[in-house]
Amino acid sequence: MSINEEQAMGREFDETSSPRPLEWDSPAGAKPTGPAASHMGTPVGGPGLFRAVALDFDGTITDDGGPPDDALIAALAATRAAGIAVVLVTGRIAAELEQAWPGAVGAVDCVVAENGAVLLTSTWRRLLAAPIDPRLDAALARAGITVRRGEVLLAGAAVDEAAILGEVRTLQLGCQTLANRGELMVLPAGVTKASGLSQALVQLGLSPHNTIAVGDAENDLALQDMSELMVAVGNAVGSLRATADVVLDQPDGAGVAAFLRSDIVSGHRPVHSRRWRVLLGVDDDDVDVELPASGLNLLITGATGCGKSYLAGLLGEQLVQQGYSVLVIDPEGDHIGLSHLSGAIVVGGGLSLPEPDEVLRLLHHRYASVIVDLSSLRSEESHRYQEQLLARIEVHRRATGLPHWVFLDEADQTVGPVAARLPGFEPARKGYCFITWRPEDLAMQAVAALDAVVAICSDDPEDDVIDLAAAVGEVPHDELGAALAAHPARAVLTRREAPGRARLFTPGERATPHLRHVHKYDRRPLDREHSFHFRRSPAEATAARAGNLSELEDELTRCERAVLRHHCPEHDLSRWVRDVFHDPDLAGAIAEVESTVTAESPVATVERARFALVGILQERLLR
C-alpha cells in the first residue's frame, strides 16, 4: 500500500481514533501449575510498569457481599509477593467492610473506604475529609429517610436521592450525592474514589501511572483518571465497560483472580491506555497522529539538523504535563527548555553535576522529571557518566517503577554496540526513546525492542534510516524512502503493531522552547578545521583562532580593528555561528551588529560594534 493510499485509509489506523477496549480471556480458566506457576505474573528481574492494583470490593472481588473466595485471596497474596501493592478502594463504611470480610485490612496494603473519605492500614487510619454535618442525619430522620453513618459519609438508598438532596439544599450544605447501583452515598464535595486512591498512592510512594484500577460500577469511573490502566470485570455496568482499557471475560472475583496472574499485570504483555496518549502531529486530512504514552520503545531518527530534538521535546513535554516521570539524558543541552514545565528540573550544564544515584533520587520528588544536561563535559567524561547512569536506571526501575520514560539523545553513542556489555540495560522493559542520526550504530537489543520509529523527512534520507523504519513497520523500502525525500519538514511514523502502514504527518507545536545544542560549543573546543580563523585581510591571516564561543568572545575583546573591518562586512562571524552551531537566533543578533561596520568605518564605530558583539556572546555564555 502506498503512503497516499494509507492516508486515505487513515481512519482504519489505530493512531487516528480511540482504541477499542481489550476483551481479555483468562487462560482456560485454570490456575497455572508446575514450575511456571511461581513465575506467572512476575517477570525476571522484578515487576514491570505496574506497581499497584486498586480493586473495588462489591461486584468486583466478591459477588455476594461476603469475603472473597480462596482463589482470589491467594491471587492477592501472590501479587503482593511479586512486589505489586494491592489497594482496596470501596464505597463501604469501614466498619461494615470489616464485618463482611474479617481480615480485609491485613490482606491488602491499604484500604480506601467510604468512597475516598477514609484511608486505613493494619496500623493506622486517617479521615481524608470532614464528616457530613450531623444536622443532615437529624433532618433525614424527621423525614422518615433511613441512612447509615460512616466516619465521614452517609449511606442510604438511591430511591431517596431527591428527598436527600432537598434536605441538603435546605441546610445549605456543601455535599454531593453519588448513586452506585441501588445505593446512594452522601459525601463531602470533591471526595471520590480517585481522590482517596491518590492519597493512598502517596502513602505507598507510587505513581498513578504505575497503577491498574479494577471495578464494576458507576463510582469506579473516577478511578480512570488515577490509574494507567482501567479494567472492567465481566459484570460491570455499561458505562464502565465502554470506557475501560480491558474488559474481563469473567465476572467479579473469578475474573479478577485470573487477571492478577496474567502477563498484563506482570508487564510481559503491554496494553495501551485509551486515555493516556501523546500527539505527534496531524496528517493531510487533519487527523491526529498519536502514540500511546507508555508501554513502548520509540526511535526518532533523521539527518543532522532535521528536527529530531524538536520532536523528542514535543513528546517529552506532553509526558511531563500528563504526570509521567521522564529522565532525559541530554549530551548537548537540547532539552533544557523542558524545565519551563512544572515538575521538570535541569541538573548539570554549567552547574555541578549530581552523582547518578542522586539524579535517580530526584525522580521521587512528586514523581519529577529530570533533564541531565551533560553539555559542559568533554566527550569522554560524558560517555563515562552516561554509562554509570544507564547501569543504574533499570535497577532503580525494578525497585520503584520510576522513571516511566528514559530519553537518550545521541543514543548511538550511549547505547551503541558497547551497550551489549552495559550491566542493567534492559530495553525490553519498555519506556525508552532513542534519538539518533545513526540508527545503524544502535545496539542490537535496542533495535530488537523497538515498537515504533519516527523518521524525519529530508532531501536525501540515509539508507540506514529508511531501512530501520521500513523494517519495524514492514513497509516497502523504496516507498518509504520516496516519502521521506519528497516531504521536507514532515515526518513518517511506522509501528510494529501496524505492519504495512506508514503515517506521514506534520509535527505539532511545542509549548516549551527548543534550544538546539545550546551549550554544545560554548566552551567545548572544536577541531582546527571547524574553528574560526581571524584575518586582517583576504591575504593576511593572524595567528588567532576560536574553537568555541568562549574563545570567540575572548578574541573579539582584543583583536585588531582591522580584523573587525575585514570580517564584519562579509558577515563571517554570523555565518560561522549559523553553519557550525546551527543557532539562527545568535547568528541573527551578530549579523545585525556586523551590518554597522564597513572596511572604512571610523574607530568609534568599530569599537561600538566590538562592545556589542562581546555583550551578545557574554549574555549567551551566562545562560
CATH number at residue 103: 3.40.50.1000
Q: Tell me how far apart the alpha carbons of residues 102 and 99 are, in angstroms, rounded to a whole number.
A: 6
Q: Are residues 382 and 266 in the same domain?
A: no
Q: Are residues 103 and 137 in the same domain?
A: no
Q: Identify whether the C-beta of residue 141 lies closer than 8 Å to the C-beta of residue 131.
A: no
Q: Are residues 182 and 52 in the same domain?
A: no
DSSP run (H or E) holding 141: helix 134-142
Nearest to 591 by CA among 611, 562, 616: 616
- Contacting residues for 543 by C-beta, under 8 A, at least 6 apart: none
- Count of domains forming the chain: 4
Q: Are residues 258 and 240 in the same domain?
A: yes
Model pLDDT, residue 418: 66
Q: Which three cell numbers stand for residue 168?
A: 441538603
Q: How far from 410 is each of 395, 421, 441, CA to CA, in Å?
A: 22, 18, 11
Q: Are residues 360 and 424 in the same domain?
A: yes
Q: Are residues 112 and 207 in the same domain?
A: yes
**What are the phi and psi torsion angles at 404 (to 5°)?**
-70, -35
Q: Tell me how far apart the alpha carbons of residues 231 and 209 are, in angstroms, rounded to a whole number.
A: 14
Largest CA distance in the chain: 105
Give the start-end residues of each E strand in 349-483: 369-373, 405-409, 432-436, 452-456
Model pLDDT, residue 10: 31
Nearest to 354 by CA among 385, 399, 316, 317: 385
Model pLDDT, residue 196: 98
Per-run averaged pLDDT (10 residues), the chain, 623 residues: 32 38 48 30 60 96 91 97 97 95 96 98 96 96 95 96 95 91 92 97 95 95 95 96 96 96 91 94 93 97 87 96 96 88 88 89 84 89 90 89 95 79 83 95 92 89 87 90 83 94 91 59 68 94 90 91 96 92 88 96 93 88 67
Q: Are residues 537 and 577 in the same domain?
A: yes
Model pLDDT, residue 516: 52
Model pLDDT, residue 329: 96
Q: Are residues 196 and 175 in the same domain?
A: no
- Contacting residues for 506 by C-beta, under 8 A, at least 6 apart: 281, 282, 283, 489, 490, 491
Model pLDDT, residue 413: 87
Q: How far from 176 is each of 146, 346, 373, CA to CA, in Å?
A: 18, 42, 48
- For residue 2, being part of any structural domain is answered with no
* CATH code for the domain in which residue 139 is found: 3.90.1070
Q: Identify whether the C-beta of residue 283 lies closer than 8 Å to the C-beta of residue 289.
A: yes
- Contacting residues for 108 by C-beta, under 8 A, at least 6 apart: 55, 76, 80, 86, 87, 88
Q: Tell me how far apart the alpha carbons of residues 71 and 65 are, in angstroms, rounded to a whole number.
A: 16
- For residue 429, being part of any structural domain is answered with yes
Q: Are residues 470 and 502 in the same domain?
A: yes
Query: Which among 243, 271, 299 is the end of a domain?
Result: 271
Give the residue carrying C-alpha cell 511531563. 320
Model pLDDT, residue 40: 32
Q: How far from 92 is each of 122, 125, 150, 167, 215, CA to CA, in Å?
A: 17, 15, 9, 23, 14
Model pLDDT, residue 237: 94
Q: Which three cell numbers stand for residue 7?
A: 492516508
Q: Are residues 497 and 590 in the same domain?
A: no
DSSP per position, 228-297: SEEEE-TT--HHHHHH-SEEESS-HHHHHHHHHTSHHHHTSS----SS-EEEEEE-TTS-EEEEESSS--
Q: Identify whether the C-beta of residue 230 lies closer than 8 Å to the C-beta of residue 245.
A: yes
Q: Do the bridges between strand 298-301 and strand 432-436 make them parallel or antiparallel, or are there none, so unpaired?
A: parallel
Q: Is 29 exposed, middle or buried (0-12, 13-18, 19+ CB in 10 A)?
A: exposed
- For residue 91, being part of any structural domain is answered with yes
Beta bridge mates, 29: none
Q: By residue range, what is the domain housing residue 156?
A: 130-189
Q: Identify whether the C-beta of residue 309 lies closer than 8 Å to the C-beta of residue 435.
A: yes
Q: Are residues 299 and 418 in the same domain?
A: yes
Model pLDDT, residue 4: 35
Query: Which among 156, 173, 189 is the end of a domain?
Result: 189
Nearest to 100 by CA among 137, 59, 37, 58: 58
Q: Tell me how far apart the alpha carbons of residues 522 and 138 are, in angstroms, rounded to a whole number.
A: 73
Q: Tell me how far apart the alpha carbons of residues 338 and 336 are, in angstroms, rounded to a whole number.
A: 5
Model pLDDT, residue 32: 30
What phi-psi label fits residue 430: left (phi over 0), alpha (psi between -120 and 50 degrees) or beta? left
Q: Look up the pTM and report it.
A: 0.78
Q: Are residues 386 and 435 in the same domain?
A: yes
Quick one: DSSP state of residue 62? B
